Amino acid sequence: MNYSPLQKARYEYTPKLPGMLRNGITEIGVKEGEETQSVADQDKIKALFPNTYGKKEITFEKGQNTAATKKQVVGVILSGGQAPGGHNVVCGLYDALKATNKENVLYGFKNGPSGLVEDDYLIFDDSYINEFRNTGGFDIIGSGRTKLETDEQFAIAADVCKKHGITAIVIIGGDDSNTNAAVLAEYFAAKDTGVQVIGCPKTIDGDLKNEDIECSFGFDTATKTYSELIGNIERDANSAKKYWHFIKVMGRSASHVALECALETQPNICLISEEVAAKKMSLSQIADYIADSVEKRAAKGMNFGVAVIPEGVVEFVPEFSALIGEINELLAGSKAETFNALSTWGEKYTFIEQGLSKESMAVFAILPQGIQQQLFLERDPHGNVQVSLIESEKLFSALVADKLAERKKKGTYKGKFGALHHFFGYEGRCAFPSNFDSDYCYSLGYNAFMLIQYGYNGYLSKVSNLSAPASEWVAGGMPITKMMNVERRHGEDKPVIRKALVELDGKPFKFFEAHREEWSVETSYVYPGAIQYYGPTEVCDITTRTLALEQE
């Protein structure tokens, strides 16, 4: 197989562990903290998790390893979308397992949780795992989005574990995946299977975080990758001086990625979905906000700029959410067949006009025709609008163009406006992990095995104090149930891990808020450049601006 020079060098990189985990397996003791409770709905969550609720947070520290010695056979699963560093979680888990006892075994269940119920696996050895150290992607065993949520699935999983003598399962995933991990851990405990379940926090969206989990893995690498690209575009914009670039970035439920990229690159505009919702901003108000920047910059002879748009921002616009709800009702049941039978867009438009309320029709009417049609052509399996497919970067540039045309007629705007569009998503999901993510993920995997060795079940691998050098990181674990609340999903109350949205009173947003007016008018661009893997620590091991501001 052919390797690039960087591939070869990364395979040989030795990830840095928290100081305590460097002591050697026999010198890692455990300190238990206070009992925990869920973030909300305590009685309901406790009732759903009687065997795993209320457990204590733990911290590993230097001391005698008091865990019982036994052969460990562990299974690992990659769940959900890719995130840089996932391979290193597996590598850290494997290395800790083998350092404890060469006879320990690590199974990799293929293509996500379905690999467990289908008994589709491989057994790791040194030669195989060494091909994936410090690399991006999830191709080591593949991933998938199958949910483990039925008793039938749990029973099959228990049988597969019994067949192979598996003592623990490690699930590497986001909020839904770790919710599944908590439910599976409860089932295994209730059935007295002896199988433990440990989760690891993964998502580039950054919305799996709280007072205990400072950041999910992959966020650092993904945002650095997007920021490099945004910086390159800013440099191009400042060179050509004739285009406004509208850039959509990942983040349907939260705007952490957009905010971090804005802090890294200082674009002229960055929308924050949570602020849009808090201020109940309309599409017209958002378009005016962006047009103001375009107009002010044009008055200074700068007919160019950069706007960063979170993937899910339109879902946070109250009037747009109402429109989507009405469209879903409009096409419910047999009415969808009536609509689809109409042969021209004009006929369909009349059907829509008659079916929507006056308020929603006013919103629909200002949308570009391409977006209008997309709302009616792209449906999910339940017949609902797939909001995530809406090209919001094109939507807002079109709305801004309309606003500027109105201003030109009034004589208040005399500039030129040309728009280009970009979507940065997959570009960051499988990048070579940064040193931070390489170290953090390896530590999460190593730490996950320590939780297994000490007999914990339904815990999330936790590494904190992440803005400090890796030697000062703190390793431990927390019960997954601590992060949970009850939400209404598909007509039922479901226990789920609460998503972490951007906090509008948090330090990262406040820093952005204090500077964005200047950035909107001036050319204050910052060019982060490519992720650096070798060189000065202050360049190679730097954390995200978000994490640095949060821990000031």
Q: Catalytic residues, which ones? A: 205
Tell the burial category of 8 from Cβ atoms under 10 Å away from its Cβ (0-12, 13-18, 19+). exposed
Contact, 541 vs 435, CB < 8 A?
yes
Instruction: Assign 367 to helix, strand or coil.
Output: coil
Tell me, rounded to whole angstroms, the distance of Cα 128 from its chain centroid: 28
Question: Residue written as tokens 């490519």?
Answer: 530
Angstrom CA distances, 436 to 48, 220, 445, 450, stand at 36, 7, 14, 21
Q: How far apart are CA 279 and CA 258, in angstroms?
A: 18
CA 13, 19, 21, 25 torsion: positive or negative? positive
Quick one: tokens of 208? 């799996």
**In this structure, what DSSP letter does residue 551 have?**
T
**Tokens 């083998």 found at:** 98
HEC assignment per residue over 70-123 = CCCEEEEEEECCCCCCHHHHHHHHHHHHHHHCCCCEEEEECCCCHHHHCCCEEE
In this structure, are residues 306 and 230 in contact, taking their beta carbons and an 8 Å threshold?
yes
Q: Backbone dihedral region of 130: left (phi > 0), alpha (psi from -120 to 50 degrees) or beta?
A: alpha
In the block, tokens 């530590």 appear at 443
Sheet holding 28-35, edge to edge: 28-35, 56-62, 474-479, 459-464, 196-201, 168-173, 73-78, 105-109, 121-123
Cα separation, 195 vs 351, whole angstroms: 57
Q: Pairing between strand 474-479 and 459-464?
A: antiparallel
**Backbone phi, then psi, for 351, in 5-degree steps?**
-60, -45
Q: How far apart are CA 198 and CA 57, in angstroms?
A: 14
Pull the structure tokens for residue 476.
């431990």
Can you give the C-alpha Rg of the chain in angstroms?
Answer: 25
Distance from chain centroid for Cα 131: 26
Query: Could you tell me the two tokens for 104?
Result: 């320990």
CA distance 126 to 94: 9
As beta bridge partners, residue 302 has none
